[in-house]
Amino acid sequence: MADNKKSPALQAGKARGSNAKKRASARTSAAAGRRVSKSAKPDKWAGLEPSSVNRVALSPIPFLPRAAEIYPDRIAVLHGDRQISYREFHERAKRLGSALKKRGIRKGDVIAAMLPNIPAMLDAHFGVPMIGAVLNTINTRLDADTIAYILEHGEAKALITDREFAGVVAAALAKIKRKILVIDHDDPLYTGPGARVGSIEYEALLNEGSSDLAWSLPGDEYAPIALNYTSGTTGRPKGVVYHHRGAFLESAGAIMGWPLPAAPVYLWTLPLFHCNGWCYSWAVTAMAGTHVCLRRVDPVMVFDLIGKHGVTHMCGAPTVLSMLINLPADQRRGFTHKVALQTGGSPPPAKVLKTMKDLGFHVLHIFGMTELHGASTTCATQEAWCTLPDEERAQRMARQGVRMPMIDGHIVGDPRTCKPVRQDGASVGEILIRGNTVMLGYLKDPRATAEAFAGGWMHSGDLAVWHPDNYVEIKDRKKDIIISGGENISSVEIETALYRHPAVALAAAVAQPDDKWGEVPCVFVQLKPDAQVTEADIIEHCRSTLARFKLPKRVVIGEVPVTATGKIQKYVLREQARALGQVA
């Protein structure tokens, strides 16, 4: 419950209660003036309406004060040798909110954060919304021009930035036309270059605030809580607006859908800037778990932290799995317990799932997007799969799965009519979603919002098939489908074949322009360390699983570019493929 007993939610509840009494009185008066039939029965539900007693705005903010109230001395955050209790975590969040408020930040103002996975980023997930402000976490791998665009488009009033990003942040600030409050974060664990660019250091700002902050829940649970920008692979990134209700329900759904037990030990291998850490920033706190911070994904450190702190849960893109698998055995610290690992993106091949299992990880494949507050489907494991051969079991586990508990509607449908396709595992449609965790919309972009919500569904842009057992399986992004000679070729199908090659670490298939066929498949392959494979070897390997017209016409071997969240940058590869010219 909020610290402020006279919250807007309670005041609104009193108003609703007063209005309910007035309506009940009006109904009574009206009934007295009418002749009531002897057969008419009174409405037994009359007068039962929401009030301040049973209606409070849904928000993830109360997760922290509750955890601090029940487990004040439990370790909430670990960062290097530093331990932060739930009592201290709660006080830091309130001090941040109080200090920002003293500096003129008001309800609805945007506070940007350019931070790695460190305690300050967790503080911001509670301290910023405590005063009704909106948290805008920025991708730490963006260029200065894009950062400047986000600060301007979101109208950020303040920016909290780590010293590691001083160079790009300084360049971005030089591009915007107004002054904003810039707060430097000087992390003792960062020893690299980077000057301070702000007017105050983060810990000094916290000292300006008070731990007695009287915060309140939002009067409207659909009030904005966070602003997240899409990857911007086609033009400028779009600002996705999250709401308190959606953040609460995504957190609750994540807890139920994984499931997340009491007091988990969660390792932050997933960037907190990405969908607010898929809302695990709030979910882990709801379960009074321990957040183990990690500035960057270092596989040696990952194994070390798992063994040292008894990590139970972590999330990451397929590249994280690849990094763990490819780490030499003599550099891995062993552990005896099982670690639950949730991954999105490209479906993990059978060999990856088996190797991860042998290393002590139980991998769960999920699907989601920025516009959905995070995950919306999970590949829930069926007991019957345990008896299947490795390859067949992996095929089941690599699907995107079934809807999570908080998702109201989830179908594979025709993107024009929004009618479901046949559940035959072959008919292709678009994944369409409806429910409380869908974004409010795109900031300052009603046209894009209308397009995304066409037909009363959130259009994911992902093409998939729907199996008879209700599991969905993504075949491609709309923009990634390769149309060659009138045939649709799934880039995901080609990539799945490529990942079966023992030398392949990363793979991506894109369309390359072709005068005869319109488009042909061009693949980019990153090999494992010390592996040696030729273009001919890769194409020959694909012949065993792909139809002839789906075979790669060109193979480029080298480093595959990825985003900070581990997603392969296909728009970069498409440009490279266009530049390669015609296939001989």
What's residue 477's pLDDT? 75
Q: What is the DSSP string of 359-396?
A: HTEEEEEEEEEGGGTEEEEE-PPPGGGGGS-HHHHHHH
Question: What does the pLDDT look like over 169-192, one tens digit per residue?
Answer: 999 999 998 999 999 999 999 999
**Least-confidence region, from 206-220, 332-346, 469-483:** 469-483
Q: What is the pLDDT of residues 456-470, one digit of tens each?
A: 999 998 889 999 999
> Does some domain include residue 509?
yes
The whole domain housing 519 covers 481-580
CATH code of residue 534: 3.30.300.30
Task: Tell me what pLDDT residue 232 has.
Answer: 53
Which of these ranges, 178-187, 248-257, 559-568, has the smallest mean pLDDT? 559-568
Residues 556, 496: contact at Cβ < 8 Å?
Answer: no
Per-residue model confidence (pLDDT) at position 148: 96
Task: Please name which of 316, 336, 369, 354 lies closest in space to residue 562, comparing C-alpha atoms.
Answer: 316
Tokens of 65: 């004060």
Q: Which of 491, 485, 500 is nearest to 537 (CA)?
A: 500
Would you say residue 174 lies in a domain?
no
pLDDT on residue 475: 83
Per-residue pLDDT, averaged over 265-286, amounts to 97
> How far is 174 from 172, CA to CA, in rounded Å?
5
In a domain, residue 353? The reply is no
More reliable by pLDDT, 116 or 486: 116
The answer, yes or no, to whether residue 437 has pLDDT greater than 70, is yes
Task: Judge whether 394 lies within some domain.
Answer: no
- Over residues 5-44, the pLDDT tens digits come to 444 333 434 444 444 444 444 444 444 444 445 567 888 9
Q: What is the pTM of this model?
A: 0.82
Domain count, the chain: 1
549: pLDDT confidence band, cut at 50, 70 and 90?
confident
318 prior amide bond cis, ω within 30: no
DSSP conformation class of 409 = E
In this structure, is residue 60 part of a structural domain?
no
Encode pLDDT of 191-234 as tens digits: 999 999 999 999 999 999 999 999 999 999 999 999 999 875 44
Q: How confident is the model at residue 565 (pLDDT cuts 50, 70, 90)?
A: low
- For residue 295, pLDDT beyond 60: yes
Strand order in the sheet with 110-114: 200-201, 181-185, 156-162, 110-114, 134-137, 224-229, 239-243, 441-442
Residue with tokens 């980019």: 524
Q: What is the pLDDT of residue 580?
A: 87
Choose among 565, 583, 563, 564: nearest CA to 573. Answer: 563
How high is the pLDDT of residue 107?
Answer: 97
Query: Residue 374 corresponds to which tokens in the numbers above?
Result: 């995070």
Cα dihedral sign, 124-126-127-131:
positive
Residues 356-381 have a mean pLDDT of 94
Percent of the chain with pLDDT over 70: 91
Q: Give domain status of residue 543, yes or no.
A: yes
When pLDDT is averaged across residues 399-414 and rounded to a whole number, the result is 95
Is residue 67 pLDDT above 50, yes or no? Answer: yes
Helices (H), 154-211: 166-175, 202-208
Mean pLDDT of 293-309: 97
What's the whole-number mean pLDDT along residues 276-286? 98
Q: Which residue has the tokens 């400028």?
A: 236
- Kindly state whether residue 534 falls inside one of the protein's structural domains: yes
pLDDT in the model for residue 516: 74
Higher confidence at residue 288 or residue 394?
A: 288
Gap between the Cα atoms of 68 and 288, Å rounded: 8
Tell me the two tokens of residue 276: 């607010």
What does the block give as tokens for 92?
A: 């830091």
Mean pLDDT for the stretch of residues 515-534: 89
With contact defined as beta carbons under 8 Å apart, do 360 and 385 qualify?
Answer: no
Average the pLDDT over 53-61 and give the result: 96
Q: Which of 484, 530, 481, 6 is nearest to 217 (CA)?
A: 6
Strand order in the sheet with 428-435: 407-413, 428-435, 458-466, 472-477
Q: Which tokens belong to 205?
A: 């700002």
Closest CA to 274 of 322, 338, 320: 320
User: What's the token pair of residue 297?
Assistant: 């994904």
483 has pLDDT over 90: no
Three-state DSSP at 107 gives coil
Determine the pLDDT at residue 575: 87
User: Which of the four pLDDT bands, split at 50, 70 and 90, describes residue 79?
Assistant: very high
Tens digit of each residue's pLDDT (9 = 90 or more) over 106-162? 999 999 999 999 999 999 999 999 999 999 999 998 889 989 999 999 999 999 999
pLDDT of residue 304: 97
In the chain, pLDDT over 90 holds for what percent of residues? Answer: 73
Mean pLDDT of the chain: 90
Q: Please check whether residue 495 lies inside any domain of the structure.
A: yes
Range of lowest pLDDT (235-244, 315-324, 510-519): 510-519
Token pair belonging to 82? 């530093």
pLDDT at residue number 6: 42
Distance, CA of 187 to CA of 301 (rounded, Å): 18
- Are 364 and 388 within 8 A, CB to CB? no
Residue 17: is it exposed, middle or buried by C-beta count within 10 angstroms (0-12/13-18/19+)?
middle
